[in-house]
Amino acid sequence: MFENNSQLPPVNSAHPPRNGFVGYSHSKKNTLDIMWDNPGQDYNNKARKIVGVNIYRSYDSELGEYVKLNEEPLRVGYYEDKMEHTTVVEDVSTQFRYRGNGPEGEWIFYTQHPIVKKGHQLIYGNQSSDVTLTIDGVTVPVARVVGEKCAVQLIKDPWMDKLTRNQYPPILPKDNSVIICTYLRNSNYVGLSRNQRMFYKLTTVTSDAGESHLNHSDVLSQHQTEAWDYIWKEAVRRNKMILQQGGEDCWLMIRKWFGVRCSCYSTVHQRGVVDCETCWGTGVEGGYEGPFPFLIAPFDGEYKLDSTEQGLHTRHTSTLWTNYPPRLNTFDLIFRKSGGIYVVGYVKPAEVRGNTFLQQEFNASLLSRDRVEHRIPFASAHDKMFITEKANIPDDQEVRGRTVTFENINY
């Protein structure tokens, strides 16, 4: 029926990603994990060039207003929406409500954003240590912080340091003083209390048709998961406990689903050059997203040494399982703390009734040392991370390794 692309259905008919899922993070506080299927594998999108996925959030109402969360289209099927505070360095010289002329001679200025405390929760600042104030470059303690109201009060009377018991005179700004206030403000709010509802929508971004329409996307919410019955909730919890007790701490790099095509990409072979250091052989610039920490069942299987023309090669394939998230895909990379990089093979999800994400079973095989993946910056940094290092032993005498055996060597 369609002879060429120009006869495809009208624009913005790309289909949004399917099987979107929002759930509480297993491992991080005040974080929601959002996952979805690759929209490029949706038959309806086959003819489109997909750039990535956009994610939108609405507080309180599933009708909106939906605000886009990501700057660039997302290249993989995983997003963490987490509470974030950012540091603000603000010149408050002209933001004084009172300059010694308050009802009791107060000095009070107002910041542009509410002041919050460090941490994973939204707690407004209420201690003098929640801000750092400098007057003409001199750090000065403050008397009072009312973070929710953006108010900071200066010390106007002589004060005593409780630790040193020294008396100090107040330092107050002059007419032309430069006053800088450094504090934290909340830049992404994720409230996970029962009364805070958050809704998400996903859209597919294509280079030809723009973005799929927001109204075509299902509403996702973490409260959907509350529909599981208690047996499956318990199953998920026990599975998680097994991993925490006996699992292995690893990192996952998710191979990008979409992105800017690398210059090495061959349209004939539909892939990148194997040892390209821009895309690491994936054909998409950057190659991978991550690393994401995750737990997997202990590796098993047999290590085999093969003699090849290049020398001895270790072969190791293991059948493994892990829980969600992130969702694993074939060709993702697993970094073990013991040093090996494994590539994920076939992934078999164990889902119940289509939405209870119990676990995913997969196999993974060791990449040989000469593969370009070992040159990914994270890989080389990670390689050195777990090697023993004794500061008091000269480097040329030290015997290093990754196990406690090396830690215990006496020199």
Rounded Cα distance, 106 and 102, in Å: 5
> Any contact of residue 173 with Zn ion (CB under 5 A)?
no
Piece of 248-256, 279-287, 300-308, 317-325 that binds Zn ion (CB under 5 A): 279-287
Contact call for residue 262 and Zn ion (CB under 5 A): yes
Q: Is 272 in the site for Zn ion (CB under 5 A)?
A: yes
By beta-carbon proximity to Zn ion, the closer residue of 26 and 261 is 261
Binding window for Zn ion (CB under 5 A); candidates: 5-13, 226-234, 267-275, 400-408: 267-275
Strand pairing report for 341-352 and 356-366: antiparallel
CB of 310 to Zn ion, least distance (A): 23
Longest dimension (CA), the chain: 88
Report how far residue 346's alpha carbon sits from residue 331's, in angstroms, rounded to the nearest whole number: 9
Based on the shown chain and the rule CB under 5 A, indicate whether residue 279 belongs to the binding site for Zn ion: yes
**Contact between 284 and Zn ion (CB under 5 A)?**
no
* Of positions 13, 95, 225, 278, contacts Zn ion by CB under 5 A: 278
Provide CB contacts within 8 A for 403, sequence distance 6+: none
Question: Which residues lie closer than 8 Å to 68 by C-beta, 6 or more apart?
Answer: 54, 55, 56
Q: How far is the CB of 41 from Zn ion (least distance, A)?
A: 23
E-strand ranges in 149-282 read 151-154, 159-160, 167-168, 179-188, 198-206, 210-211, 220-221, 248-255
Selected range binding Zn ion among 123-131, 277-285, 304-312, 361-369, rule: CB under 5 A: 277-285
209 touches Zn ion (CB under 5 A): no
DSSP state string for 74-114? B-SSEEEEE-EEEEEEEE-TT-EEEES-STTS-EEEE-SS-
Q: Which stretch binds Zn ion (CB under 5 A): 88-96, 181-189, 265-273, 319-327?
A: 265-273
Query: Are the beta carbons of 312 and 288 closer than 8 angstroms?
Result: no
Nearest distance, CB of residue 259 and Zn ion, angstroms: 11
Is residue 372 a contact residue for Zn ion (CB under 5 A)?
no
Please say which residue, 125 or 272, places its beta carbon nearer to Zn ion: 272
Total of chain residues touching Zn ion, rule CB under 5 A: 6
Residue 123: φ, ψ to 5°: -125, 125
The residues facing 74 across adjacent strands are: 53
Name residue, tokens 């996702």: 220
Q: Which long-range contacts (CB under 8 A, 24 or more apart) does 192-196 make?
A: 192/24, 192/30, 192/32, 192/222, 196/59, 196/60
Kindly state whether residue 55 participates in binding Zn ion, applying the rule CB under 5 A: no
Q: Which of 276, 328, 341, 372 binds Zn ion (CB under 5 A)?
A: 276
Q: Give the nearer residue to Zn ion in terms of CB position, either 181 or 367.
A: 367
Residue 154 binds Zn ion (CB under 5 A): no
265 versus 357: smaller Cβ distance to Zn ion? 265
Considering only 247-255, 268-276, 304-312, 315-323, which stretch makes contact with Zn ion by CB under 5 A?
A: 268-276
Applying CB under 5 A, the span of 138-146, 164-172, 255-263, 319-327 interacting with Zn ion comes to 255-263
Please, which residues have CB within 8 angstroms of residue 13's CB and are 6 or more apart in sequence?
44, 209, 212
Instruction: Return d(Cα 103, Cα 109) in angstroms, integer.
Output: 14
Cβ closer to Zn ion: 23 or 283? Answer: 283
Contact between 39 and 257 (Cβ < 8 Å)? no
Residue with smaller CB distance to Zn ion, 150 or 379: 379
Binds Zn ion by CB under 5 A, chosen from 92, 264, 366, 376: 264
Cα–Cα separations (whole angstroms), residue 219 to 22, 31, 317: 10, 18, 40
Interaction between residue 25 and Zn ion (CB under 5 A): no
The span of 54-62, 84-92, 122-130, 270-278 binding Zn ion (CB under 5 A) equals 270-278
CB of 275 to Zn ion, least distance (A): 9
Q: Which positions touch Zn ion (CB under 5 A)?
A: 262, 264, 272, 276, 278-279
